[in-house]
Amino acid sequence: MGTSIRVSDETKRKLDRIKRDDETFNELLDRLADLEDTMQSSAGSWDGTDKAENALQERERMKGSFRTR
């Protein structure tokens, strides 16, 4: 048997919203943990490039285009 984890009702509702119909809560938590690992391993991947600045400029350009509508 596995380990039981207590969560608040609000946390349970949040997990219910993102859980896929065909997965167990164990599979959901495993998927989320894998996603966190992926995010951690790619952190800083833009260091030494101009990608962050380009992304910020594009974001500002897009925000401006919405204001003119």
Q: Count Cα atoms within 13 angstroms, Cβ side, for 23.
A: 14
Q: What is the value of pTM for the model shown? A: 0.54
Question: pLDDT 10s digit of each residue in the chain, 69 long?
Answer: 789 999 999 999 999 999 999 999 999 999 988 887 777 667 677 778 888 888 888 888 888 766 655
- CA terminus-to-terminus distance, the chain: 57
